[in-house]
Amino acid sequence: MNIFKDIVCGKKKIHLEYEDEFIIAFNDINPKSPVHILIVPKFFIPTLNDVTHQHENILGKMIIVASKIAKKKHINHDGYRLVINCNDNGRQEILYLHMHLLGGRKGTNIFF
């Protein structure tokens, strides 16, 4: 079972902050900052190690979506962080590539 696959496939209903044909974004259920949005491609890539040149466009789109959401959440002027974790030591908890958009307070930890 992979919660992100269930969300992408519509098996698990949640409030989406953003959706288009390639990407969805939603609030993290265990937020590490006042704004903590997960940005997820609609097709499965397990980790950053599995990214190839075919994924360049989706990774760029994820960053553009993060910027749009930061503006919508009014954190674009004060600043925010984008984080992609990879595997266990990189603190990736779900094997499905995703980006964390974190903002709303000054970062105090290298990981969050």
Please count the CA atoms within 13 angstroms of the CA of 8 that sit on its side-chain side: 19
User: Token pair of 70, please?
Assistant: 């930061």
Please count the CA atoms within 13 angstroms of the CA of 5 that sit on its side-chain side: 8
Considering the candidates 15, 55, 74, 98, report the single residue annotated as catalytic. Answer: 98
Residue 98 and residue 14: Cα distance in Å, rounded? 16
Reply yes or no on whether 15 is catalytic.
Answer: no
Active site residues: 98
